[in-house]
Structure 1
Amino acid sequence: MFKSTALAAALLSLSALAQASDVATILKKADAFRQTDSSAQIETLVQTYKNGEPDKEKRYEVLIRPGGKSLILFRSPGEVGQKVLMSGDDFWMLLPGSARPMRITPLQKLLGDASTGDIATMTWSGDYDGNIKSESSCDGQACLELELTATRKTLSYQRVVLHVAKQDYRPLHADLYAASGRKLKQARYFIEQRDGRPTVTRISLRDEVQTARETVVTTLSSKPRQFGDELFNAMYLSRNDVKL
């Protein structure tokens, strides 16, 4: 009896490890559709819509590099010179003329439902653990539903229910939850060919409460670039302009 129980426990443990490995692989492949280069300069347009009609728009230049580092440069009139720096779990807002960077959260809004974390953070692998919850049909294709849990309390969303295509693990849509368990919004991912490979070029964000409002984040261009360490140092950025 003891041997049977031990064997069953061991098999369950191996099954859990195998699924964890599967989820890690799925997330890495899903990430590859969103971030095609590990170090890149990305031109981003954020637009808001009310009842399907265009409302506002803003432009950003996003610099990303390995190690969880991103720099958002504001490019819209009246905001030029503003910056948001993400370094690991730390976010800073830097304003022109201010000698000190201000700490902010990744949920700090930029425009509509697009927060700093939505623009600066482009990966799930490494930030989330999870399991494959079910297999179903999404938009006429077979998909997997993944239940993801944040590995750190500082992440924008503590729980993510992510749907990916079963065939190639491209992200389809995700429900994004706060630490309280409240659903904040849903993200839908739209893919087109860029440089000969399928890439997420547009993300639609819909507020869970204000359902008539939509925020669309569009990647206008993305090119691989290498950046110096100083561009990801808050004190350097507070004293110097960024020249690309």
Structure 2
Amino acid sequence: MKTLLIALALAAPLAQAADVATMLKNADAFRGSGQQQIDTLIEVSNPDGSPDKERRYTVLTAPERRSLVLMTSPAEKGQKVLMLGDDFWLLMPGSQRPMRITPTQRLLGDASTGDIATQSWSEDYEGALIGEERCEALACWHLQLKAKRRGVTYQRIELWLGKARHEPLHAELYVQSEKLAKKARFIMDKTQVTEMVLQDALSNRKLTHVRYQSRKPRQVPQSWFNPMFLARSPVLE
């Protein structure tokens, strides 16, 4: 009997870890995964709710943590951001030199390159279950995520998922200094996240709305994920 109790005690953390891994994979599915094109609109609103600025982006994703962000608004048209694992490059029209940037480089408002170019919580983070809580009218799970590498956008994420389906509800995003950088709220339809609302944790003034206007499967050429090819090819067809 004693041996059985010890075995059950040892198995409990493993079962919990497996459950957390499943939760994160389910949450990622609501945010979109695989090879696809995501047409994204970022809008910044003033404290009174009036619109401030907006920009449009086409995000192309591929396996092995690869993403290409094409900026399509007139003010930024032709600019690109390439993500290969933990490496980020900004490519400007007319320049033959890709510029190294960080995933925290701001695009507009509180939205950074990492906010729209990276997607996988299940691949980039180790998760631990903190416990069950109430998220307004819903029962939810509170998870703590710690980054597997230093190159990811946020080193720690406090994440709340719906208890039944594991859909993302809201998150607190921490940078390497353990400073709370932003708060995120996720807006869903029945099957996927349609919007992420970001708020600076200190100013609590303007809101940044990252709206996912459409998603569709798309396989892009491997050459598009080469920074030197992109520097030589200002127009992608």
- Classify the TM-score, shorter chain: over 0.9
Residue from 187, 195, 202 that aligns with 1:202: 195
Match of 1:156 in 2: 153
Equivalent residues in 2 for 1:134-213 (5 A)? 134-193=131-190, 198-213=191-206
1:12-57 CA-to-partner distances (Å, cap 9, x unmatched) read 442221111111100000000000x511111100000111221000
1:182-240 CA-to-partner distances (Å, cap 9, x unmatched) read 100111000114xxxx1101000010011011000001111111111011110000000
Match of 1:98 in 2: 95
TM-score normalised over the length of structure 1: 0.92
Residue from 80, 83, 87 that aligns with 1:86: 83
Q: For the residues of structure 2 that align with 1:166 and 1:242, how far apart are their CA atoms?
A: 45
Equivalent residues in 2 for 1:1-244 (5 A)? 11-35=8-32, 37-51=33-47, 52-193=49-190, 198-244=191-237
Q: Is contact 2:93–2:234 with CA below 8 Å preserved after alignment?
A: no
Number of aligned residue pairs: give it: 236
Over the aligned positions, Cα root-mean-square deviation in angstroms equals: 1.6
Q: Which amino acid in structure 2 is aligned with residue 114 of structure 1?
A: A
Structure 2 unaligned residues grouped into runs of 5+: none
Q: Is contact 1:20–1:129 with CA below 8 Å preserved after alignment?
A: no
1:10 Cα offset (Å): 5.4
Q: Which amino acid in structure 2 is aligned with residue 172 of structure 1?
A: L
